[in-house]
A and B are shown apart, each in its own frame.
Chain A
Amino acid sequence: MLSELLSRVLPFPLAFHPHSLLLLGVVLFGGTLAGRLFQRFKIPQVIGYIGAGMVLGYSGFRFIDETALANLQPFSSFALGLIGFMIGGELKISTLRKFGRQFMSILLLESLGSFVLVTILTTFVGYVLFGDMVYASALGLVFGAVSSATAPAATTDVLWENKTKGPLTTIVLGIVAMDDGVALVLFALATSIAGNLLGISTGGILHHLLMIGWEIGGSVVLGLGTGFILYRLIRNFKNEDRILAFSISAILLLTGIAVTIGTDMILAAMSMGFFITNFAPRRSKETFKLVEKFTPPIFVLFFVMVGAKINVSSLNLVILALALVFLLARFSGKAAGAWLGARLSRAPATVRRYLPLCLLSQAGVAIGLSIMAGQTFPGEAGNTIMLVITLTTFVVQIAGPVFVKIAVVKAGEAGLNITEDDLILQSSAADICDVNIPVLDEDMSISKVLGIFAQHDNLYYPVVDGEKRLIGIVSIEKLKDTFMAAEFSEFLLVHDIMEPAAYSCGPGTEAVEVSRMFKTLGINSIPMTGPEGKVLGMIEHRKLQQHFTKKIAELTRKADELEHS
Chain B
Amino acid sequence: MEIKDFLREDRCVLLKSTRKNEVLLELLEILEAQKAVENMEELRKEIFYREQLMSTGIGLSIAVPHVRFEGVAAPIVMAGVSREGISDYASLDEKPIKIVIMIIVAKDCHRDYIRLLSMIMSHLKNEEVRDALVNAASPAQIVSILEEA
Q: CA separation between A497 and B66, bound complex, in Å? A: 11
Q: CA separation between A497 and B53, bound complex, in Å? A: 14
Counting chain A CB atoms within 10 Å of each CB, the highest count among B64, B92, B121, B125 belongs to: B121
Q: CA separation between A496 and B64, bound complex, in Å? A: 12
Contact (Cβ within 8 A) A496 B68: yes
Contact (Cβ within 8 A) A487 B122: yes
Across the interface, name the chain B residue whose C-beta is closest to A482. B114
Contact (Cβ within 8 A) A484 B118: yes
Contact (Cβ within 8 A) B66 A496: yes
Contact (Cβ within 8 A) A488 B54: no
The reply on B110 being an interface residue by CB < 8 A is: yes
- Contact pattern, A 481-523, Cβ under 8 Å of B = 1, otherwise 0: 1101111100111011100100000000000000000000000
Contact (A488, B121) CB under 8 Å given A442-B53, A493-B53, A493-B54: yes
Contact (Cβ within 8 A) A443 B64: no
Q: How many residues of A contact B (CB 8 A)?
A: 17
The smallest beta-carbon distance between A364 and chain B, in angstroms, is: 65
Contact (Cβ within 8 A) A485 B121: yes
Residues of B within 8 A of A493 (CB): 50, 53-54
Partner of A484, one of B58, B66, B68, B114: B114
B residues 43-59 in Cβ contact with A at 8 Å: 50, 53-54, 56, 58
Partner of B58, one of A442, A491, A496: A491
Residues of B within 8 A of A481 (CB): 110-111, 114
Q: CA separation between A2 and B10, bound complex, in Å? A: 85
B residues 99-121 in Cβ contact with A at 8 Å: 107, 110-111, 113-115, 117-118, 120-121
Q: CA separation between A482 and B113, bound complex, in Å? A: 10
A residues 449-498 in Cβ contact with B at 8 Å: 478, 481-482, 484-488, 491-493, 495-497
Across the interface, name the chain A residue whose C-beta is closest to B120. A488
- Contact pattern, A 45-69, Cβ under 8 Å of B = 1, otherwise 0: 0000000000000000000000000
The smallest beta-carbon distance between A489 and chain B, in angstroms, is: 9
Contact (Cβ within 8 A) A484 B53: no
Q: CA separation between A485 and B125, bound complex, in Å? A: 13
Q: CA separation between A488 and B58, bound complex, in Å? A: 9
- Contact pattern, B 50-80, Cβ under 8 Å of A = 1, otherwise 0: 1001101010000010101000000000000
Contact (Cβ within 8 A) A478 B110: yes
The smallest beta-carbon distance between B48 and chain A, in angstroms, is: 13
The smallest beta-carbon distance between B148 and chain A, in angstroms, is: 21
Contact (Cβ within 8 A) B110 A497: yes
Partner of A443, one of B54, B113, B120, B122: B54
Q: CA separation between A496 and B107, bound complex, in Å? A: 10
Across the interface, name the chain A residue whose C-beta is closest to B53. A443
Contact (A485, B118) CB under 8 Å given A478-B110, A491-B58, A496-B66: yes
Residues of B within 8 A of A497 (CB): 110, 114
Q: CA separation between A481 and B117, bound complex, in Å? A: 12
Contact (Cβ within 8 A) A491 B64: yes
Q: CA separation between A560 and B15, bound complex, in Å? A: 77
Residues of B within 8 A of A443 (CB): 53-54
Residues of A within 8 A of B53 (CB): 442-443, 493, 495
Q: CA separation between A487 and B107, bound complex, in Å? A: 22
Partner of A495, one of B50, B111, B121: B50
Q: CA separation between A29 and B20, bound complex, in Å? A: 75
Counting chain B CB atoms within 10 Å of each CB, the highest count among A487, A488, A492 belongs to: A488
Partner of B111, one of A484, A487, A500: A484
Residues of A within 8 A of B114 (CB): 481-482, 484-485, 488, 497
Contact (Cβ within 8 A) B110 A487: no
Residues of A within 8 A of B111 (CB): 481, 484
The smallest beta-carbon distance between A459 and chain B, in angstroms, is: 16
Residues of A within 8 A of B50 (CB): 493, 495-496
Across the interface, name the chain B residue whose C-beta is closest to A483. B114
Contact (A488, B68) CB under 8 Å given A442-B53, A493-B53, A495-B50: no
The smallest beta-carbon distance between A495 and chain B, in angstroms, is: 6
The smallest beta-carbon distance between A440 and chain B, in angstroms, is: 13
The smallest beta-carbon distance between A483 and chain B, in angstroms, is: 9
Residues of A within 8 A of B117 (CB): 485, 488, 491-492
Residues of B within 8 A of A485 (CB): 114-115, 117-118, 121
Q: CA separation between A484 and B121, bound complex, in Å? A: 11
Residues of A within 8 A of B56 (CB): 491
Across the interface, name the chain B residue whose C-beta is closest to A442. B53
Across the interface, name the chain A residue whose C-beta is closest to B52. A443
Residues of B within 8 A of A495 (CB): 50, 53
Q: CA separation between A421 and B53, bound complex, in Å? A: 45
Residues of A within 8 A of B121 (CB): 485, 487-488
The smallest beta-carbon distance between A100 and chain B, in angstroms, is: 63
Across the interface, name the chain B residue whose C-beta is closest to A481. B114
Q: CA separation between A484 and B111, bound complex, in Å? A: 9
Counting chain A CB atoms within 10 Å of each CB, the highest count among B58, B115, B117 belongs to: B117
Residues of A within 8 A of B107 (CB): 500
Residues of B within 8 A of A488 (CB): 58, 64, 114, 117-118, 120-121
Q: CA separation between A481 and B118, bound complex, in Å? A: 11
Q: CA separation between A487 and B115, bound complex, in Å? A: 11
Residues of A within 8 A of B64 (CB): 488, 491
Q: CA separation between A442 and B121, bound complex, in Å? A: 23
A residues 399-449 in Cβ contact with B at 8 Å: 442-443
Residues of B within 8 A of A442 (CB): 53
Residues of B within 8 A of A492 (CB): 117
The smallest beta-carbon distance between A466 and chain B, in angstroms, is: 10
Residues of A within 8 A of B118 (CB): 484-488
Across the interface, name the chain B residue whose C-beta is closest to A497. B110
The smallest beta-carbon distance between A1 and chain B, in angstroms, is: 65
Q: CA separation between A544 and B122, bound complex, in Å? A: 42
Across the interface, name the chain B residue whose C-beta is closest to A445. B54
Q: CA separation between A206 and B106, bound complex, in Å? A: 91
Residues of B within 8 A of A478 (CB): 110
Q: CA separation between A348 and B135, bound complex, in Å? A: 90
Q: What are 8 A-B pairs with beta-carbon distances under 8 A?
A: A443-B53, A485-B117, A487-B118, A487-B121, A487-B122, A487-B125, A488-B58, A488-B121
Closest 8 pairs (CB-CB, A-B): A485-B118, A443-B53, A488-B121, A488-B117, A481-B114, A491-B58, A485-B114, A487-B121
- 12 other contacts beyond A496-B66, A497-B110, with CB at 8 A cut-off? A443-B54, A478-B110, A481-B111, A481-B114, A484-B114, A487-B118, A487-B122, A488-B64, A488-B118, A492-B117, A493-B53, A496-B50
